[in-house]
Structure 1
Amino acid sequence: MTADRRSVLRTAARLAAVTAVGAVSACAPGPTRGTPVQAPSDPPEGPAGYSLRLRPTPPATPAATGAPAPSGAVVPAVAPLAPGTPVEVVNGPRGRAEVALTFHGEGDPAQATALLERAEQRGVRLTVLAVGRWLDQQPQMAERILRGGHELGNHTQNHLNINALSPAQAHAEIAECAERLRRLTGSIGRWFRPSATQYASPMVREQARLVGYEHCLSFDVDPRDYSDPGADLLQRRLLRSVQGGSVVALHMGHQGTVDALPAVLDGLQRLGLRAVTASQLCT
């Protein structure tokens, strides 16, 4: 056997091994929703007090957002992020008396609307990372979220364990949700949050960038509202962990979260903190 032939066979074997490890069923479930996220050690501090998972690189030319917004759609102006904003934001600058309340966008639209209304009554704006299949079922929620002055982003199409997917599967999960957002609002939104994980893998960050997301949105506070602990325990968990610059992970579709929101906002006010969108926190 020639040296060239042996080299070709070795390369083919390596590619087959990588494919076997990376490929999983597109229907594979992520971690059980009731299982708390196990956070690794604190990420290193980045520019302006950010915590980050990846040092920022010079920004690429922003991807075009596609066709103009549909008639009547609300596309608010978005200020540019602060220089040095990391590729994956875990928290904003610690020196700011602001936090971002971010929500997994799925579930009963009546509960989602009640949550938005309670925030709006207090002059608070939320960040909703919508699951694409929810937008397929409840397309009116995209416009409702933006009409209230809130921020809308991408939380994948089917909420699979995205870090366990192949690059092609991960790309499809991000791109399909982005297409729903673009069709409904004229924009894919600024933020992508990986599904069924706290942090995006390097592969997922790259696929998000290819779809048009320069920044992934993680979080540093997780009161596990998806486990339905009750409004009192939820607000205590959140308020004892939050600090300036925190990004809080919460979920629509849970009545306890709706019920806890007023007490959460009162507690933040006592701590001298104000709830803003993720973009406002990073501007």
Structure 2
Amino acid sequence: MAGREVSRRGLLGLGAAVLAGCQAGPSPGGAGPASGGAGPPPGSPGSALPTSTTTGAPPGPAQQLVRAESGRPEVALTFHGAGDLSLTRRVLDVLAQHDAQVTVLAVGTWLAATPDGIRMVRDGGHEIGNHTWSHGDLAHMAPSPMRTEIERCRDELDRLTGGPGTFFRQSQGQYATPAELTEAAWAGYARVLSYDVDSLDWTDPAPERIRRAVAAARAGSVVSMHLGHPATVTALPGVLTDLAGRGLRPVTATRLFT
């Protein structure tokens, strides 16, 4: 997103990437911002676990969703799923107090280390998605390890929650590259959820700065936030109050693009 002030790849090594945010990448490749939905995608609750196709032609790139154009006064708050379980619990408590539904894109290593976290998200009625296994620099991977990152997280989500998640989101990039869209489709995800507003909460700034960043959201916006950062917990009540004051309702990404 324009106006990004910090280079995430320069700030964080891969060993710390699971707790980092998602670096802005190039402009969307392949599919661009999409309005409306294409029906329930693979990975919706109750759908079968998708599997890769290893023969024949590629299934075609996944659809990249960045901002909805329905005109409804709704926004999707989306959370990078990683970090301390106590912070996750506090974020979910704030969301419940404000009757807000969100989409959590989980990192596979977090799922494996803290399985109760994603179960708490699910039990709170929130939507779940895939944010790669290890939150590496996906755009610079070859196709095979890129797909492994997606599939390994997909399979862990299915093991823990009974489904692979509704969306895939690339790691360390605001927009998915054409290769990421292709590999997401191979892994069974019809839609890739990017975003148009970065809260910058991954830098743990003052809460007021997070609120100012989210103030850029408009009807149809997808906002990137994080479960595992203390500043997010502190800022979230104000963020939700600000959105309500502007007549904007936080909904899941599926609802936003329906």
1:143 is aligned to 2:143: no
User: Deviation at 1:267?
Assistant: 0.5
Give runs of aligned pairs for residues 1-283 of structure 1, distance below 5 A. 29=14, 33=20, 37=24, 40=27, 46-47=34-35, 62=42, 65-66=48-49, 87-93=63-69, 95-239=71-215, 241-283=216-258
Q: Which has the higher contact order (CA 8 A, sep 6+)?
A: 2
1:274 is aligned with what amino acid?
R
Gaps of 5+ in 2: 1-12, 51-61
Q: Secondary structure at the match of 1:242?
A: coil
User: Deviation at 1:93?
Assistant: 1.9
User: Deviation at 1:209?
Assistant: 0.9
Contact 2:22 2:174 in 1 (8 A): no
Q: How many residues align?
A: 229
Per-residue displacement from partner, 1:57-84 (whole Å, max 9, x unpaired)?
Answer: xx9x9486349xxxxxxxxxxxxxxxxx
2:231 is aligned with what amino acid?
G
Q: Secondary structure at the match of 1:152?
A: strand
Per-residue displacement from partner, 1:9-47 (whole Å, max 9, x unpaired)?
Answer: xxxxxxxxxxxxxxxxxxx83998589626649x96655
Per-residue displacement from partner, 1:196-245 (whole Å, max 9, x unpaired)?
Answer: 11111111111111111000000000021111111111112211x11000
Going from structure 1 to structure 2, the CA distance change for 1:121 and 1:189 (only over 3 Å counts) comes to same
CA distance in 2: counterparts of 1:281 and 1:121, whole angstroms: 21
Contact 2:34 2:64 in 1 (8 A): no
Contact 1:103 1:252 in 2 (8 A): yes
Per-residue displacement from partner, 1:133-177 (whole Å, max 9, x unpaired)?
Answer: 000000111211110000111000000011110000000000000
Going from structure 1 to structure 2, the CA distance change for 1:161 and 1:123 (only over 3 Å counts) comes to same
2:149 is aligned with what amino acid?
E
Going from structure 1 to structure 2, the CA distance change for 1:268 and 1:144 (only over 3 Å counts) comes to same
Contact 1:106 1:130 in 2 (8 A): yes
TM-score under structure 1 length normalisation? 0.74
User: Deviation at 1:112?
Assistant: 0.6
1:245 is aligned with what amino acid?
G
- CA RMSD, aligned part only? 2.9
2:183 is aligned with what amino acid?
Q
Contact 1:94 1:243 in 2 (8 A): no
Runs of 4+ in 1 over 2 A off after TM superposition: 28-41, 43-48, 61-67
Alignment partner, residue 14 of structure 1: none
Gaps of 5+ in 1: 1-27, 51-55, 68-85
Larger radius of gyration: 1
